[in-house]
A and B are shown apart, each in its own frame.
Chain A
């Protein structure tokens, strides 16, 4: 596609429910990243994929968070038993990995609200 797309754009859920967020990266981009941006905060790194594998999961805040990527393309971020502190904008980015300067292109984000 022309750019990184994410769905849904907005998600409101009740505390304790599971949610699944989707990211479609730019075609041909092998690297994919998930970030979280809370109100008034910087972007917080969650996880990085190279192809379908995740060599860096260091940013996942708890075991309620998981992510997968299939076919070297689409990725889903799953949050189980959501808590109010999970409310944030979840941003996905993709890049052509393998070079020192691999500019990350961001999607529009999914705004998650946990009631």
Chain B
């Protein structure tokens, strides 16, 4: 079967750093995506990892370890607008994305 685990909720302080973890067990692996979804809005793409290691993009970085079935999203210099749900998704086949239930991040002043 397919399974993706993420913490349900996290809270962090404005200006701080937060790490959102994702572990997965899937029947196939063609890459891992992170999406951001503000309440009532569509998910928007943040990052993509297919090889092990860290991908950095501005304040956001994403890490992948395929042998451990593990990824994390690192958000630096948190801003209030970063309050959103963060969705981990694994590309299990040629095109299909299997999503986790998401982590709701609340940034407090």
Contact = CB atoms under 8 A, between A and B. Distances in A.
A91 B35 CA distance: 14
A100 B31 contact: yes
Contacts of B60: none
B97 A104 contact: yes
Interface size class of B (residues with CB under 8 A): 20 to 34
B87 A43 contact: yes
B30 A100 contact: yes
Interface residues of A, number: 27
Contacts of B70: none
Contacts of B35: 106
A68 interface: no
Nearest to A48: B95
Interface in A1-60: 4, 31, 33, 35, 40-45, 48, 50, 56, 58
A65 interface: no
Contacts of A40: 101
B50 A106 contact: no
B48 A103 contact: yes
B42 A109 contact: yes
Contacts of A103: 33, 45, 48
A109 to B, nearest CB: 6
Contact of B31 (A4, A45, A101): A101
A74 interface: no
B95 A106 contact: no
